[in-house]
Structure 1
Amino acid sequence: MEIRKATKSDLPTVVSLNDTVQKIHAEAHPHLFKYPVDLSALEAFFEKMIDQLNGLIFITFSDTGDPAGYICAVIHCVPENPFKFEQRVMYIDQMVVSSAYRNIGVGRMLMEKVEEYAKDLEADRIELGSWMFNQGAHKFFEKLGFSKFKAAFWKSI
């Protein structure tokens, strides 16, 4: 497996990989998540992520060159305030592993790559969000040493 930072030439591949995860989220919460998405807008979103100084996308390919997945992360530097200490947090915004490459260590490799990058940037921790319906992902994150630390609630009105 090859893992590297995505470039603008990888954008069509990232957009294509995103389809699976976007569809799952739209099926669970059709009032929140768009499907299908505007592909040019999606490509522009990922291009902005690549261009940001504090953002990155790692992409992985199989030994035969097939796209296997990607992960997007952003470093947030939060200044000290009266309530909290200064924080440097690597936030994982998205991770997608193609169904053909699940359960063989691809997700773990992507997460480890982000952790390595976060350490290089002297981040205090890595955070991510995951929707309640995605219990398989929760188990995966917990296996990697992540723990739940807050809950979010909503009320439709």
Structure 2
Amino acid sequence: MVAIRPAVAADYELICQLFSLLDSFHARLLPHIFQETDCHVRPYHYIAGLIEQPDAILFLAEAGDTAVGLIHVSIDEAADLPFFRSRRYAVVHHVIVQKEWRGQGIGQRLMAQAHEWAVDRGATSVELSVWTANQEAMTFYEELGYAPVLVRLVRPLP
């Protein structure tokens, strides 16, 4: 049985292990952008800061004593400017599910937990970024109803 709960600072080691999986995945997927790191590249005070932010949360998915996934989400507000509509929205920063635990609905449950948390805080939408090379994630998010709104283009220089 996989349980989802808010992370606490004492979960630092579990969180680092999951972020290390994400870092390794990105280094393999986009080696010209990412590089391999060690497990503790994010210091304790950084992780504790994520957890302690008043308008953010990090949920852990656990199977017994094993952390099998996490999601980091925060609340943001668009500026009230003449050319923007003011709005309150959630931003999903990271979603990680260990490869051997994928396909069991854990990612969907983490996203649902983030959506519920965001609605409770007055958010009217959720935004996230995904690397276009990560087709598995693109498909996952599209199946949850996400659609592209902005495309960032990159051109290498000589």
TM-score after normalising by structure 1: 0.92
Q: Answer yes or no: is the 8 Å Cα contact 1:15–1:43 preserved in 2.
A: no
Per the alignment, residue 57 of structure 1 pairs with 58
Amino acid in structure 1 at the alignment position of 2:108: R
Specify every segment of 5 or more residues in structure 1 that has no aligned partner in the other structure, as ranges.
Answer: none
Read off the aligned partner of 1:55 and give its amino acid letter.
Answer: A
**Residue correspondences, number:** 156
1:138/1:42 Cα in 2 relative to 1: closer, same or farther (>3 Å)? farther
Percentage of identical aligned residues = 25
Q: Any conservation in 1 of the 2:5–2:59 contact (CA below 8 Å)?
A: yes
- Does the CA contact (< 8 Å) of 2:8 and 2:51 recur in 1? yes
1:90 maps to: 90
C-alpha deviation, 1:38, in angstroms: 6.6
- Match of 2:46, SS? helix
Q: Output aligned runs, 1:1-16, within 5 Å.
A: 1-16=2-17
1:40-55 equivalences under 5 Å are 41-55=42-56
- Check whether the contact 2:89–2:123 (CA below 8 A) recurs between aligned residues: yes
Change (3 A) 1:32 1:24: same
Aligned partner letter, 1:35: E
Give the equivalent residue in structure 2 for 1:106.
106
Q: What's the TM-score once normalised by structure 2's chain length?
A: 0.91
- After superposition, what is the alpha-carbon deviation per residue over 1:69-109, rounded to whole angstroms, capped at 9, x for unaligned? 00011111122101111111100000100112100000000
The gaps in structure 2 that reach 5 residues or longer are none
Match of 1:116 in 2: 116
